[in-house]
Amino acid sequence: MNALRRHRILNTIWGAPKGWRGTVVSVNHSDIGKRFVIAAFGFFAIGGVLAMLIRAQLATPGSAFVGPDIYNQLFTMHGSIMMFLFAIPMFEGLALYMLPKMLGSRDMAFPRLSAYGWWCYLFGGTILIASMVFGVAPDGGWFMYTPLSSKAYTPGINADVWLLGITFVEISAISAAIEITVSVLKLRAPGMRLDRMPLFAWYLLITALMMIVAFPPLILGSILLEVERAFDWPFFDPARGGSPLLWQHLFWLFGHPEVYIIFLPAAGVISTVLPVLARTRMLGYGWIVAALLSLAFLSFGLWVHHMFTTGIPHMALGFFSAASALVALPTAVQVFAWIGTLWNGRPELKLPMLYLLGFFVVFVIGGMTGVMLAMVPFDLQAHDTHFVVAHLHYVLIGGFVFPMLAGAYYWLPHFTGRTRDELLGKTTFWLIFVGFNVTFFMMHLTGLLGMRRRVHIYPEEAGWTLLNLVSSVGSFVMAFGFALFAIDVALHVHYARRRRRNPWTAGTLEWAMPVPTPAYNIASLPTVISREPLADAPALASALSRGEGHLGEPRRGWRETMAVDTTTGAIDHIVVLPGNTHLPIVTAAATGCFFLCLLAGRYWLSLLPVAGVVVLGLRWAWLLDWRRDIGPLPIGRGEVAPIHREAAGAPGWWGSVFLLVADGTALASLLFGYAFLWVIAPNWPPPERIEGGLAAGLVAAAAGSAGTLLARRCLADGAAGLMEAASRMAVAAAAAQLVTILALMALGVTAQPVPQAHAYAACSWALLAYALLHATIAMLCMGFGRARIAAGHVSPRRTLDLRVARLFSDYSTATLAIVLVCLLAPSVMS
Contact 136, 156 (CB under 8 A): yes
Cβ proximity to another protein: between 462 and 621 the closer is 462
Contact 562, 574 (CB under 8 A): yes
Interface residue with another protein, options 38, 329, 720, 791 (CB under 8 A): 329
Task: Give the CA angle between residues 489, 176, 606 to the nearest 5°.
Answer: 110
Cβ proximity to another protein: between 342 and 805 the closer is 342
d(CA 322, CA 196): 34
Does residue 611 touch another protein according to CB under 8 A? no
Contact 265, 94 (CB under 8 A): yes
d(CA 306, CA 322): 14
SS3 337: helix
Considering the complex, what minimum distance in angstroms separates the CB of residue 627 from another protein?
55
- 755 φ, ψ to 5°? -65, -25
Does residue 68 touch another protein according to CB under 8 A? yes
Bridge partner residues of 172 (DSSP): none
Does residue 537 touch another protein according to CB under 8 A? no
Q: Give residues with Cβ within 8 angstroms of 740, minimum separation 6.
A: 700, 703, 704, 707, 775, 816
Considering the complex, what minimum distance in angstroms separates the CB of residue 683 from another protein?
8
What amino acid occupies position 168?
F
d(CA 693, CA 537): 70
Considering the complex, what minimum distance in angstroms separates the CB of residue 163 from another protein?
17
Interface residue with another protein, options 318, 538, 631, 792 (CB under 8 A): 318
Task: Give the CA angle between residues 354, 357, 362 to the nearest 5°.
Answer: 130
How many chain residues interact with another protein (CB under 8 A)? 74
Does residue 56 touch another protein according to CB under 8 A? no
Considering the complex, what minimum distance in angstroms separates the CB of residue 258 from another protein?
19
Per CB under 8 A, contacts with another protein among 620-679 are none
Q: Give the number of other CB atoms < 10 A from CB of residue 453.
A: 18
Does residue 762 touch another protein according to CB under 8 A? no
Does residue 400 touch another protein according to CB under 8 A? no
Does residue 334 touch another protein according to CB under 8 A? yes
Q: Judged by CB under 8 A, which stretch of 104-112, 326-334, 466-474, 781-789 contacts another protein? A: 326-334
Interface residue with another protein, options 83, 182, 219, 245 (CB under 8 A): 245
Q: Which letter does DSSP use for residue 643 in this model?
A: B
Considering the complex, what minimum distance in angstroms separates the CB of residue 330 from another protein?
9
SS3 561: strand
The interface mask with another protein, positions 116-155, x = CB under 8 A, is ------------------------xx---x-xx---xx--
Cβ proximity to another protein: between 116 and 363 the closer is 363
Contact 355, 412 (CB under 8 A): no
Interface residue with another protein, options 9, 16, 335, 484 (CB under 8 A): 335
Cβ proximity to another protein: between 333 and 660 the closer is 333
Considering the complex, what minimum distance in angstroms separates the CB of residue 140 from another protein?
8
Considering the complex, what minimum distance in angstroms separates the CB of residue 336 from another protein?
4
What distance separates the 2 farthest-apart alpha carbons in the chain? 85
Per CB under 8 A, contacts with another protein among 539-598 are none
Q: Cis omega before residue 685 (within 30°)?
A: yes
d(CA 59, CA 37): 32
Closest among 94, 29, 17 to 520, alpha carbons compared: 29
Interface residue with another protein, options 26, 158, 385, 727 (CB under 8 A): 385
Per CB under 8 A, contacts with another protein among 151-170 are 152-153
Per CB under 8 A, contacts with another protein among 251-310 are 283-284, 287, 309-310
Considering the complex, what minimum distance in angstroms separates the CB of residue 433 from another protein?
14
Cβ proximity to another protein: between 48 and 345 the closer is 345
Per CB under 8 A, contacts with another protein among 185-244 are 238-239, 242-244
d(CA 609, CA 615): 10
Bridge partner residues of 636 (DSSP): 639
Does residue 719 touch another protein according to CB under 8 A? no
SS3 531: coil
Element (H, E) at 342: helix 328-344
Q: Judged by CB under 8 A, which stretch of 201-209, 341-349, 618-626, 749-757 contacts another protein? A: 341-349
Does residue 524 touch another protein according to CB under 8 A? no
Does residue 64 touch another protein according to CB under 8 A? no
Interface residue with another protein, options 26, 28, 30, 72 (CB under 8 A): 72
Considering the complex, what minimum distance in angstroms separates the CB of residue 680 from another protein?
8
**Angle, to 10 degrees, between the axis of helix 158-186 and the axis of helix 583-599?**
150
Cβ proximity to another protein: between 374 and 660 the closer is 374
Considering the complex, what minimum distance in angstroms separates the CB of residue 419 from another protein?
23
Per CB under 8 A, contacts with another protein among 345-384 are 346-347, 349, 357, 360-361, 364-365, 368-369, 371-372, 375-378, 380-381, 383-384
Element (H, E) at 578: none
Per CB under 8 A, contacts with another protein among 446-505 are 450, 452-458
Does residue 18 touch another protein according to CB under 8 A? no
Give Cα 803 distance to the centre of its chain: 26
Cβ proximity to another protein: between 225 and 777 the closer is 225
Sequential DSSP letters for 752-817: SPPTTS-HHHHHHHHHHHHHHHHHHHHHHHHHHHHHHHHTT---SS--HHHHHHHHHHHHHHHHHH
Q: Which letter does DSSP use for residue 350 in this model?
A: -
